[in-house]
Amino acid sequence: MDSIVNKFKRSTSTWGDHNMLVNFDVTKEFSLPSFDIPPCHNPIEFLKHNTDEKSNAECRIKFKHGTTTLAFKFQGGIIVSVDSRATTGSVIATQNIRKIIEINPYLLGTMAGGAADCTFWERELGRRCRLYELRNKERISVSAASKLLGNIVYSFKGMGLSMGTMVVGWDKIGPNIYYVDADGTRLKGDLFSVGSGSPFAYGVLDSAYDFDLSAHDAAELGRRAVYHAAHRDSASGGNIHVYHVKQSGWENLGFRDFDDLHWEYQDQPKPSIIGDVQPMMLNIQD
């Protein structure tokens, strides 16, 4: 009997180990999950050849990419707004994916790039944030949380992880947005948009952004920016989710279907972005 059990007991990865609860090793908490690497000469090249569209257009495995996510600070906290479409190549895999990941009741992470990479690592981030809370008896700051995530992905740099996420929360310093991506970039800022639809969202955001917006107007701006991005970018669409991060934590403001919003906005008069700006004096020679 023992010999049969021993045959299956050998496991090289902590994540595959179903005896984790029994064999819980404290020193292993800080280590990164170990992954099985394919037994070929150059596993990184092998992975790139089969999955990276930029280096090989006929790669057989196309990861789910393509999105619009944005987050901006204003007087009432932070608005985070995302679409919900996942595409594999040009096929729409789903119109219903959740791109805002609730790490804990006061920290949010957004998903852009590879869907699996984002969900897995942000959940791992949630685990580490909880461990921090238990050890230090206080909530982790957004800066530390984003640093944890950034360092994790940096250790996998070059191996093909694709992730462009914003870690968003309200800690004892105030509201904070950190942009973290799979190259190891970590940037603090007031306004970010990430994803294939981000150029379109930036345009709409920049034209109407004001720090003193009311919470309702800021949410509407976030929604509109993602709507315009989803209109022009084919890899974005589905539903538009908006979250509001306040001092007491985040609040889910619900979602609207992109098609319904399209017809609704068609009927409304276009919001004025020119306002009281002086018209350009053009010297047009006749």
CA angle, residues 195, 96, 209, in degrees to nearest 5: 45
Q: Give CA–CA dist 100/259, Å, rounded.
A: 20
Which residues are paired to 194 by β-bridges? 69
Contact assessment for residue 85 and residue 91, using Cβ atoms and an 8 Å cutoff: no
Residues 62-81 that bind other proteins (CB under 8 A): 66
Binding mask 24-63 for other proteins (x = CB under 8 A): ----------------------------------------
DSSP letter string over 111-153? --B-HHHHHHHHHHHHHHHHHHHHHHSSPPPHHHHHHHHHHHH
Contact with other proteins (CB under 8 A) among 178, 194, 233, 258: 233
Contact with other proteins (CB under 8 A) among 3, 90, 283, 285: 90
Shortest CB 87 distance to other proteins, Å: 5
165 noted as active-site residue: no
- Residue 235 lies near other proteins (rule: CB under 8 A): yes
Give the Å distances, CA to CA, from 105 to 37, 115, 280. 35, 21, 48
Q: Give CA–CA dist 223/201, Å, rounded.
A: 10
- Residue 237 lies near other proteins (rule: CB under 8 A): yes
- Binding window for other proteins (CB under 8 A); candidates: 46-54, 130-138, 208-216, 233-241: 233-241
Shortest CB 212 distance to other proteins, Å: 33
Site for other proteins, rule CB under 8 A: 66, 85, 87, 89-92, 196, 231-235, 237
